[in-house]
Amino acid sequence: MEKHCLVQLNVSTAMLIGGYDEDGGYLDAFYYDIISEIFTKGPDSVEHRENHACGAIRDKGDGSLIVVSVGGFDGAPHNSSTSELLFEGE
């Protein structure tokens, strides 16, 4: 897998989003347990993304974590001008 993005959610968990391999692009996201080195399937993206950016921000009101995945290439072959938000607990 390549062309994915990786964002650290807390001290023991990261999230890998999208990417590409020889079979094509991915809508998949995975949680990665840094301590046990185990991947767990997460939510699918709405749009295929590769070479994109991602990050995590905290909601100013309730402190919940929001993962943001933006831009990149959608494999169509087009640059993506969209963004996706994943809210903690969804």
Give the model confidence (pLDDT) of 3-58 as tens digits: 889 999 999 999 999 887 777 777 788 999 999 999 999 988 888 788 889 999 99
**Number of neighbouring beta carbons within 10 Å of residue 16:** 19
In this prediction, residue 90 carries a pLDDT of 64
In this prediction, residue 4 carries a pLDDT of 87
- Which of these ranges, 21-30, 66-75, 79-88, has the smallest mean pLDDT? 21-30
Taking CB atoms within 8 Å and a gap of at least 24, the contacts of 41-48 are 42/15, 43/86, 43/90, 45/17, 45/18, 45/69, 45/84, 46/84, 47/74, 47/80, 47/82, 47/84, 48/18, 48/74, 48/75
Domain tally, the chain: 1
Most confident residue range from 16-20, 57-61, 82-86: 57-61
Asked if residues 26 and 18 have their Cβ atoms less than 8 Å apart, the reply is: yes
| Residue 21 lies in domain | 5-87
